[in-house]
Amino acid sequence: MDNRLETKNFLSKRGARQGASTPKTSAPLSIQRLLEERNELAIKHDGLPHVGSRPDSQEFYTEVKKVKEAFDLYGFSENLMSRDLPSPPQEKVRLGAGSPAAFPAFPTAKKKIIEALESDKIHEYPLAAGNDTAREEFVKYLASIGFKNDTPYADSQTVESGLSKENVIFTSASTQAFDLILKVIARKDDIVLMTAPNYGLFSFMPERMGARVELVALKEENDWLLDPKDLAQRIDYLNHKYAQLHKNKKKRAPRVVAFFNMNPHNPLGKVMGKSRLKLLTEISQVCKQRGVFVIDDLVYRDLTFDRNELSVPVSSIKGMFQNTISLFSLSKAYSLASIRAGAIVADETVIRGIRNSIFQTLDSVSTLQVAAIAGAFNTSTERQKTYDKYFSKLIPEYQYRYQLIKALVEGLTSVQDKNLQKRIIQDVEKYAGKSAAPKLLQGIKGVCLAAKTTPEAGFFALLDFSALKNKYYYGLQIKQEKHLMKFLFNDNNIKFISGESISWPDNQQFIGRITFALVPEDLVLAFSKIKESVEKLKDYKQPYKPVLKGENSGI
């Protein structure tokens, strides 16, 4: 639908719902002209802001267009409401957030931030690439986790494993880092390859700068791990396809320029650690042989549950450093999401391009961001002791919360550990009441955890609602995933990230990405609401009779 028509329809719909005509604007001419050209600014989203658009003003390409439509449901509740359904209650149940657990900030990072604030240099502008000392310390940390550059440049002042400070630059977390990388390596219509599923919001970024996203599907029979043969075939097919489409044009044909490798994976939580090193090596070699950068997202690395299986950085594999661009962030594992601190590690030529871009836009990143990174990623004894103590408490808490969700969805007997069962019973009785606990711990009929998706890292679970297909909520039949989202929102003001939002590869399944970073009380209450809603579904239509007491909108 044309954006202007979409805006007009929205305003008409809103006026009808409120019993009033569309109000005439009293805005000055400058604002009116702005809205004519940027009509998305007329719509107030209650959740996510507008996801953006392509620079040529055309629609996103097919796969990303599906993701956009799904996020429009998540971020704009008006799209979920209907006259023929009850208005949602005021109390919200939000299970789609990406924030980590409310855990104290990583102590040595916090210490460095405080030191930076108290420094007599705080009045000075920082360098575009970040503090030299911090970069040198970060390089030592990289060497300690296996990074090595087998072919450093002759004039590089390498300090550890062939790396130098010129291989590192600091950013405002991994989102800005990904954007900066794309600006350097991708040209118009070039292809960034991602897995399906993936982190949906990143799929918009290449297309917002004129490139495009294509997908390579992960498969349940492969334990949701990427098959290198599938990757090779997908790259070869896409390169051939676009070469043929552009063979009579003077400019070079668009090509696959990067593969976005999440390790651990978001949202699956799969980890390619030392036991899967062969697989990771094969994936990396497929990319290198075809001139495709590996963008190695290591953001969830320190939230790996098995501490002997921490994800292996691609840049630690022999011969892979120069073909790899690695991402680090404090947002997920170090409880410092609001600091927005991250880092990019890459060949010097890539870092130069990113440095130029930072200088031309932001000028430089915050000294506090750099200080936080320096405090979290170094080789000091203090940091190592802090790290061991910190994650020895945090990881078991995430593991428990996943088991709590498992019990609430699939029943208490699905949890094997008897001690965990006792703790789960105590929490459910505490937060839902002793009388309600037994029923809650029977699970939710028609809902289960997606097959073979037990997370090995992170804090997301994938729920499968497919068994609810074709059931009715009043006159609404759940035929598509959007109908599921509409039902849950209108009945109990429940939202989560849908399968379409993360490019789930099987469109016959109805999938929800659910965070378990919430405290146990919130998880118990949230899943009790989901259970309550699911039990209202019928195999037949039910007439809805509105309660004439005015609308009770919880959007």
Give the pLDDT score at 46.
Answer: 66
Q: What three-state secondary structure class fits 280?
A: helix
Over residues 73-126, the pLDDT tens digits come to 888 888 899 889 999 999 999 999 999 999 999 999 999 999 999 998 899 998
Nearest-5° Cα angle at 325, 388 to 345: 55
Give the pLDDT score at 43.
Answer: 76
Residues 6+ apart with CB under 8 A from 152: 158, 162, 163, 164
Give the pLDDT score at 341.
Answer: 95
Helices 173-185, 348-361: inter-axial angle, 10-degree rounding: 110
pLDDT reading at 458 higher than 70? yes
pLDDT-derived band at 313 (thresholds 50, 70, 90) equals very high
Higher-scoring residue by pLDDT: 482, 14: 482
Over residues 239-253, the pLDDT tens digits come to 999 999 988 887 889
Give the pLDDT score at 518.
Answer: 97
* Inter-CA distances, 180 with 64, 173, 325, 343, 396, Å: 20, 11, 11, 11, 35
pLDDT reading at 159 higher than 90? no
114 CB neighbour count, 10 Å cutoff: 13
Q: Which of 227, 225, 192 lies closest to 208, judged by CA?
A: 192
Give the pLDDT score at 548.
Answer: 59
Q: Percentage of residues in the chain with pLDDT exceeding 70? A: 93
Contact 122, 115 (CB under 8 A): no
Contact 273, 420 (CB under 8 A): no
Helices 107-117, 367-376: inter-axial angle, 10-degree rounding: 150
Give the pLDDT score at 14.
Answer: 46
pLDDT-derived band at 25 (thresholds 50, 70, 90) equals low
Residues 6+ apart with CB under 8 A from 289: none
Token pair of 543, please? 């007439």
Do the bridges between strand 472-473 and strand 476-477 make them parallel or antiparallel, or are there none, so unpaired? antiparallel
One-letter amino acid at 180 equals L
Half-sphere exposure of 17 (CA within 13 A, CB side): 16
Give the pLDDT score at 7.
Answer: 44
Half-sphere exposure of 553 (CA within 13 A, CB side): 12
Contact 128, 308 (CB under 8 A): no
- Residue 253's Cβ-count burial label (10 Å; 0-12, 13-18, 19+) is middle
Q: Percentage of residues in the chain with pLDDT exceeding 90? A: 79
* DSSP label of 105: P
Residues pairing with 216 in the sheet: 195
Give the pLDDT score at 20.
Answer: 38
Contact 273, 304 (CB under 8 A): yes
Domains of the chain with CATH codes: 3-62 (no CATH), 76-100+392-534 (3.90.1150.10), 148-352 (3.40.640.10)
Token pair of 138, please? 């970060």
- From CA 515, how far away is CA 402, in angstroms rounded? 9
- From CA 555, how far away is CA 548, in angstroms rounded? 19
Least confident of 31-35, 92-96, 300-304, 481-485: 31-35
Token pair of 385, please? 């002791």
- From CA 350, how far away is CA 167, in angstroms rounded? 9
In the block, tokens 């980890």 appear at: 271
Token pair of 142, please? 């990289």
In this structure, the dihedral spanned by the alpha carbons of residues 118, 121, 122 and 126, taken in order and rounded to 10 degrees, is -140
Contact 294, 326 (CB under 8 A): no
9 CB neighbour count, 10 Å cutoff: 11
pLDDT reading at 18 higher than 50? no
Give the pLDDT score at 1.
Answer: 45
- From CA 379, how far away is CA 139, in angstroms rounded? 10
Give the pLDDT score at 78.
Answer: 86
What is the Cα Rg of the chain in Å? 25
- Positions of E strands within 180-320: 191-196, 212-217, 256-262, 293-297
Contact 401, 455 (CB under 8 A): no
Query: What is the mean pLDDT of the segment spanning 355-376?
Result: 93
Token pair of 417, please? 């550990």
- From CA 135, how far away is CA 299, in angstroms rounded? 18
Higher-scoring residue by pLDDT: 44, 362: 362
Token pair of 450, please? 């997606």
- Residue 213's Cβ-count burial label (10 Å; 0-12, 13-18, 19+) is buried
Q: What three-state secondary structure class fits 214?
A: strand
Contact 513, 108 (CB under 8 A): no
Name the phi and psi angles at 352, rounded to 5.
Answer: -60, -45
Query: Number of helices (H) and strands (E), helices first, in the chain?
Result: 16, 15
> Following DSSP, what letter does each residue of 345-369 receive, concatenated?
E--HHHHHHHHHHHHHHTSS--HHH
